[in-house]
Structure 1
Amino acid sequence: MIRKLLPILASDDRAKMRAFLTVCVAYGILQGVALLLAIPALRHLLAGEASASWPWILSVIGAAVIAGIAFSIQSVLGSRIGLALMRGLHRSIIDHLGVLPVGWFSSDRTGRLSQSVSQGTTAVWTAASTLIQPLVTAVVTPMTIALGLLFIDWPVALTMLIAAPLLYLVYRWAAALAERSADQIDQAAVEAASRVVEFTRAQPVMRAFRADQAGNGMLARAHRAQQEASRRSLRTSLPGLIGFATAVQLMFAAVIVIAVWQSLTGAASAATAAVVLFAAARFTGPLIDAADLGSALRLAGHDLDRIDNVLDEPAQPEGTDSIEQAGELAFDHVDFTYPGGRQVLHEVTFSAHPGTTTALVGPSGSGKSTILQLAARFFDPDAGTVRIGGVDARLLPVQTVMEQLSVVQQNVYLLDDTIEANIRFGNPEATDDELREAIRLSRVDEIIDRMPHGLDTQVGEAGVALSGGERQRVSIARAFLKDSPIVLLDEITASLDPENAIAVHAGLAALSEGRTMLIVSHDLTTIAGADQILVLDDGAIVEHGTHTDLVAGTGLYADFWAERERAQGWRVTHPTDAS
């Protein structure tokens, strides 16, 4: 565990960790020394030699005072080390998450991440600040007592020293038993955490469809599975715990037999035997504590392993090439399959140029949104090449790719901050004039005029204080402020009311000036004016051309348009209208 902690700490904190461990060892030794000094003091007192016991009593007091000082120092150092670890882990996790491919953040990892970032880092902090010292003391103090007893009662001391490696072997056996069910406990805990996140996020759906009991049932099953995993772990590890405790008690029984035998044979006085037994009792107590502390420390070690698994995930590969022509976007014979799924794209080839709009149309599941995700480099293709700025995106620095792109999605996520802060997120260095222009072009000025606090209005978590259309406008303003040459839009008008749809369309028209637009939409009126329309079916481009060309044909797009025209004539009738 300690070897795992050291690499996480900064260089100056590693020096503090070594100092902390040194003080912990010193405290354990001082505790043992104080107990050893108490033996002659007690022996003199039991023999009625009070005056001879005073020097030893004063020595005990002195050792106890020094041990108290050492304890205070290690407590302060332990707290600092724990906080440094917590800070270092959070920084490492956050920094590493920032370089992972966006596609890595699948839903099945949500529970594990939340478990690692919250409970995992807390467990590691607790281990460093409160578990290491008592565990070190539980090992060092008994060994100090055993070595010191060599000069007082060597048969008893020899028994302890011979028993030490045997006890260690039993302890390792007990630890191995506990390890068997550690993965099951981990998986159950992650599953429970995932269900809690899911239950929280799905509240609107559950309540709308009166499925809250079903959600409760899934959550309850996950918690029952976690409890069952804990019970199985206890059943598995119980023989080891009993075995270790029994071994310690057998060793203590052997010490009692030897001490009593020496007293009966006259090899040692009764007073000596009594104080030696007292010391032996102090030897066995910490050993049993060490077993419990070691178990808790192992659990923290598993938490640290889970965090290490996240940190070991490979960062998104990147190169050092430079953009050749800003705004160019091209797919060249691209194939792509989601992990564990079917092939989504096959031989997709097209180019999009600055100042043009490319629309993606097709039935659900045809691969439209996947093309946007590959264009944003959320994933990399299995075969073929995605070129950004005329260069294979994999050969560009990730930061360069991100500078080339703005993404406006159907489900806009806003930070729990003000409207202004969410817009400035696109470009924190933007001037006030640039901010005002982005607000005007995206029609966000109509929103802030209605708000009592204007730009300083808090949007709430995920932007819940704004409507879907208002969030879309803020997102478009963010894209204006970022001023990237390529803009990716995914079904952004799908669920808007007429007023917001008009405002968003106006914002998109302004945003498209001089930029490369790649847009996915089922609303054909949104993309009718596109410079090229790509029609996808089953992961392949089956048609391409302008709206006029495709409507005049007999392909899938013409069928879509005909369906739309027929839908325009639909109207809802009242029973009284029928006659």
Structure 2
Amino acid sequence: MIRTLLRVLGPKYAPPVRRTIVLMTVAAVLEGLSYALLVPVLRGLFGDDPGEARPWLFAFGGAIAVYAVVRYLGDLAGFRAGTTLLHGMYHRLGDHLAKLPVGWYTSRRVGEVSVLASQGVLRSMGVIAHLLGPFISASATPLTIVAVILVFNRQLGSAALVAVPVVLLVQAWAGRSMASTDTERAERDHESSARVIEFVKAQPVLRAGGRTAERFTLLDDSLRDVERTARRSVFSALPGAVGLSVTVQAVFTGILVLGAYLALGGSIGAAEVLTILVLAARCADPLLSLAEFGGQIRGAKAELLRLQAVLETEPLPEPARPISPARNDISFEDVRFAHGDRQVMDGVSVAVPEGRRLAVVGPSGSGKSTLLQLLARFYDVDGGAVRVGGVDVRDIGAEALMERFAIVFQDVYLFDGTIEENIRLGRPGASEADLREAASAAGLDEVIARLPGGWDANVGEGGALLSGGERQRVSIARALLKDAPIVLLDEVTSALDPVNEAVVHEGIERLMAGRTVVMVAHRMRTVQRADRVVFLDRQGIREEGTHEELLRLGGRYAEFWAVSAPVG
């Protein structure tokens, strides 16, 4: 577990933890060595002159004081390292997540990362502050005490030494027996949490359809699985815990019997036997606590492994010598791309001259949005090339590439802040005049005038306090403020009502003016204004031309237009 922790921390954050581990180990060894002074103390107390124990008592007290100081420093270092590294790991995780391709963030991964960034990092870094010291003490102190016993009596020390691998084997067996159920329990917990969230979110639909009982059954089944897994986890932990307790007690009993035998034979004094029994008893408590630490350590290790998996995910490679394109034309050259086992594109080629508009039309699942994602380098192509200004996007630095794009998605995400703060994300250093001009061009004036607080109105997490059309206007204002030379539009108006659609279209027209544009659309109103249209399906580009040319062709696009075109 400690090796995993140090790997996750990396070269920047691992050294202070190593120093903390050394300090905690020294404290644990000092604790064990201090108990060696009990031998002369008890020998003096049980001898002819109990006063002989006085100097040894002072020595024992001094040793305990030294141990207490070192233990305090070790625990303090653990807490400080834990809190410092917690802050550092959040930064490391955040910096790494910012480098990963946007395509990596599937809905499943977003959920996993959100849990990892909240509970996972806190739990794994809590190991340093709360678990590392007791774990090292429970491991190192008994071993030191065994060495002390071995020094004072070879026979009893050898018996204690033989017991060490036995205890370790029992502890390892107990851990393995519980590891499988720990994994299953974590999976069931995640599944039940997802079912609860799904049940709550689906209430309007379920009640409208009168199917709440059916959904209760699904949730109940999930919770019953959690209960069964928890029961199996308890039963799987029981043999290990009992086995470890019985083993420790058996070892103590064996040492007691051997000590009594040696004392009766005159090989050792009663004071020494008593002292060694006290030392052996002192070993028992930390050894038994290892069973308690086992579950916490496995849980923390599981979180560390998940954290390590994310941190070891390779970002898209950055060019050694980035090239800055002089133009803003776009070309897809024999592009091939597979998403998992599904081939999304196979030999797609299309070009968009600078300042022109390309509309991408086709059925769902044909790869329209993927075309935009490859252009913005959310993913890297498997074959062929995507170029901006004649330069492969893989040869342009990620930051420089994104500066060239203004992207407006169908699903707009706004941060929990004011309208002004969300618009300023497009260009944080923009002047007040530029900000107002962008908002006005996006049709936000009447929204801002209507909302309590105006520009300072809070939009809520994800923009929940605004309607879909209002969120889309903020997104367009943000893109206008950015003033990038290339605009990517992904089904911007597909879910808007007619009033908002009209306003958004006006903002989109202002955004597209004079820029290179690639737009994905289901509604055909915007397509008519494109300089070129491609019809895409799962076999690739089936038709290409202007809107009028494709209508005269009477092919797939014409059929699509007949179904999707506005009436009147």
Match of 2:334 in 1: 333
> Cα distance 1:9–1:417, how it changes in 2: closer, same or farther (>3 A)?
same
Match of 2:274 in 1: 274
Query: Is residue 252–residue 280 contact of structure 1 (8 Å, CA) maintained in 2?
Result: yes
Cα deviation, 1:331-352, whole Å, max 9, x if unaligned, reads: 22223332133x3334322111
Match of 2:63 in 1: 63
Note the 1:241-252 alignment, pairs <5 A: 241-252=241-252
Residues 1:89 and 2:89 aligned together:
yes
CA distance in 1, matches of 2:50, 2:100: 72
- Provide the secondary structure at the position in 2 that maps to 1:518: strand
Match of 2:567 in 1: 568
Cα deviation, 1:250-306, whole Å, max 9, x if unaligned, reads: 211110111111232233343443333222111222222234324422331221111
CA distance in 1, matches of 2:272, 2:551: 106
CA distance in 2, matches of 1:200, 1:373: 32
Shift of the alpha carbon at 1:218? Answer: 4.2
Shift of the alpha carbon at 1:197? Answer: 5.5
Query: Is residue 8–residue 304 contact of structure 2 (8 Å, CA) maintained in 1?
Result: no
- Provide the secondary structure at the position in 2 that maps to 1:543: strand
Shift of the alpha carbon at 1:193? Answer: 4.9
Shift of the alpha carbon at 1:463? Answer: 0.5
CA distance in 1, matches of 2:229, 2:286: 29
- Provide the secondary structure at the position in 2 that maps to 1:349: strand
Gaps of at least 5 residues in structure 2 are none
Query: Is residue 114–residue 193 contact of structure 1 (8 Å, CA) maintained in 2?
Result: no
Query: Is residue 535–residue 557 contact of structure 1 (8 Å, CA) maintained in 2?
Result: yes
- Provide the secondary structure at the position in 2 that maps to 1:528: helix
CA distance in 2, matches of 1:12, 1:380: 30
CA distance in 2, matches of 1:348, 1:315: 25
Larger deviation, residues 374-383 vs 523-532: 374-383
Residues 1:442 and 2:434 aligned together:
no
Residues 1:102 and 2:102 aligned together:
yes
Cα deviation, 1:104-160, whole Å, max 9, x if unaligned, reads: 111232343233222221221221111111121122222222222334333222211
Larger deviation, residues 10-19 vs 373-382: 10-19
Note the 1:369-384 alignment, pairs <5 A: 369-384=369-384
Match of 2:32 in 1: 32
Question: What amino acid is the match of 2:339?
Answer: Y
Query: Is residue 361–residue 521 contact of structure 1 (8 Å, CA) maintained in 2?
Result: yes
> Cα distance 1:475–1:553, how it changes in 2: closer, same or farther (>3 A)?
same
Query: Is residue 135–residue 293 contact of structure 1 (8 Å, CA) maintained in 2?
Result: yes
CA distance in 2, matches of 1:267, 1:42: 17
Shift of the alpha carbon at 1:48? Answer: 7.0
Query: Is residue 108–residue 194 contact of structure 1 (8 Å, CA) maintained in 2?
Result: no
Question: What amino acid is the match of 1:568?
Answer: V
> Cα distance 1:51–1:104, how it changes in 2: closer, same or farther (>3 A)?
same
Query: Is residue 354–residue 485 contact of structure 1 (8 Å, CA) maintained in 2?
Result: no
CA distance in 1, matches of 2:11, 2:493: 52
Residues 1:311 and 2:311 aligned together:
yes
Query: Is residue 81–residue 128 contact of structure 1 (8 Å, CA) maintained in 2?
Result: yes
Query: Is residue 146–residue 161 contact of structure 1 (8 Å, CA) maintained in 2?
Result: yes
> Cα distance 1:207–1:337, how it changes in 2: closer, same or farther (>3 A)?
farther
Shift of the alpha carbon at 1:497? Answer: 2.8
Match of 1:555 in 2: 555
Query: Is residue 335–residue 381 contact of structure 2 (8 Å, CA) maintained in 1?
Result: yes
CA distance in 2, matches of 1:47, 1:67: 28
Shift of the alpha carbon at 1:419? Answer: 0.5
Larger deviation, residues 453-462 vs 133-142: 133-142
Match of 1:406 in 2: 406
Question: What amino acid is the match of 1:352?
Answer: V
Note the 1:178-189 alignment, pairs <5 A: 178-189=178-189
Match of 1:154 in 2: 154
Match of 2:425 in 1: 425
Match of 2:292 in 1: 292
Question: What amino acid is the match of 1:335?
Answer: R
CA distance in 1, matches of 2:82, 2:232: 31
Query: Is residue 29–residue 141 contact of structure 2 (8 Å, CA) maintained in 1?
Result: yes
Match of 1:22 in 2: 22
CA distance in 2, matches of 1:154, 1:75: 34
> Cα distance 1:180–1:399, how it changes in 2: closer, same or farther (>3 A)?
same
Cα deviation, 1:462-492, whole Å, max 9, x if unaligned, reads: 1011111111111011111111111111121
CA distance in 2, matches of 1:205, 1:481: 39
CA distance in 2, matches of 1:429, 1:365: 39
Match of 2:77 in 1: 77
Query: Is residue 326–residue 485 contact of structure 1 (8 Å, CA) maintained in 2?
Result: no
Match of 2:125 in 1: 125
> Cα distance 1:490–1:539, how it changes in 2: closer, same or farther (>3 A)?
farther
CA distance in 2, matches of 1:284, 1:563: 79
Larger deviation, residues 459-468 vs 195-204: 195-204
Query: Is residue 376–residue 405 contact of structure 1 (8 Å, CA) maintained in 2?
Result: yes
- Provide the secondary structure at the position in 2 that maps to 1:281: helix
Shift of the alpha carbon at 1:67? Answer: 2.1
Shift of the alpha carbon at 1:180? Answer: 4.1
CA distance in 1, matches of 2:81, 2:196: 31
Cα deviation, 1:25-52, whole Å, max 9, x if unaligned, reads: 2322232233332343334334574422
- Provide the secondary structure at the position in 2 that maps to 1:552: helix
Note the 1:126-141 alignment, pairs <5 A: 126-141=126-141
Query: Is residue 111–residue 194 contact of structure 1 (8 Å, CA) maintained in 2?
Result: no
CA distance in 1, matches of 2:509, 2:12: 55
Question: What amino acid is the match of 1:305?
Answer: L
Cα deviation, 1:176-228, whole Å, max 9, x if unaligned, reads: 33444454344434444544565566566556555555555545544444444
Query: Is residue 13–residue 84 contact of structure 1 (8 Å, CA) maintained in 2?
Result: no
Match of 1:471 in 2: 471
Match of 2:503 in 1: 503
> Cα distance 1:109–1:278, how it changes in 2: closer, same or farther (>3 A)?
same
Query: Is residue 8–residue 307 contact of structure 2 (8 Å, CA) maintained in 1?
Result: no
Query: Is residue 420–residue 456 contact of structure 2 (8 Å, CA) maintained in 1?
Result: yes
> Cα distance 1:382–1:219, how it changes in 2: closer, same or farther (>3 A)?
farther
Query: Is residue 8–residue 85 contact of structure 1 (8 Å, CA) maintained in 2?
Result: no
> Cα distance 1:364–1:381, how it changes in 2: closer, same or farther (>3 A)?
same
Q: Percent identity?
A: 39
Question: What amino acid is the match of 1:334?
Answer: V
Gaps of at least 5 residues in structure 1 are 570-579
Question: What amino acid is the match of 2:389?
Answer: G
CA distance in 2, matches of 1:551, 1:57: 102
Shift of the alpha carbon at 1:500? Answer: 2.0
Shift of the alpha carbon at 1:527? Answer: 1.9
> Cα distance 1:383–1:151, how it changes in 2: closer, same or farther (>3 A)?
closer
Q: Give the number of aligned pairs.
A: 567
Larger deviation, residues 438-447 vs 416-425: 438-447
CA distance in 2, matches of 1:206, 1:126: 41
Match of 2:323 in 1: 322
Match of 1:494 in 2: 494
> Cα distance 1:430–1:202, how it changes in 2: closer, same or farther (>3 A)?
farther
Shift of the alpha carbon at 1:166? Answer: 3.2
> Cα distance 1:98–1:210, how it changes in 2: closer, same or farther (>3 A)?
farther
> Cα distance 1:185–1:89, how it changes in 2: closer, same or farther (>3 A)?
farther
Match of 1:264 in 2: 264
Match of 1:573 in 2: none
> Cα distance 1:223–1:46, how it changes in 2: closer, same or farther (>3 A)?
farther
CA distance in 1, matches of 2:103, 2:219: 26
CA distance in 2, matches of 1:26, 1:354: 69
Shift of the alpha carbon at 1:81? Answer: 1.5
Match of 2:173 in 1: 173
Larger deviation, residues 416-425 vs 447-456: 447-456
Query: Is residue 360–residue 519 contact of structure 1 (8 Å, CA) maintained in 2?
Result: yes
> Cα distance 1:535–1:105, how it changes in 2: closer, same or farther (>3 A)?
same
Shift of the alpha carbon at 1:12? Answer: 7.3
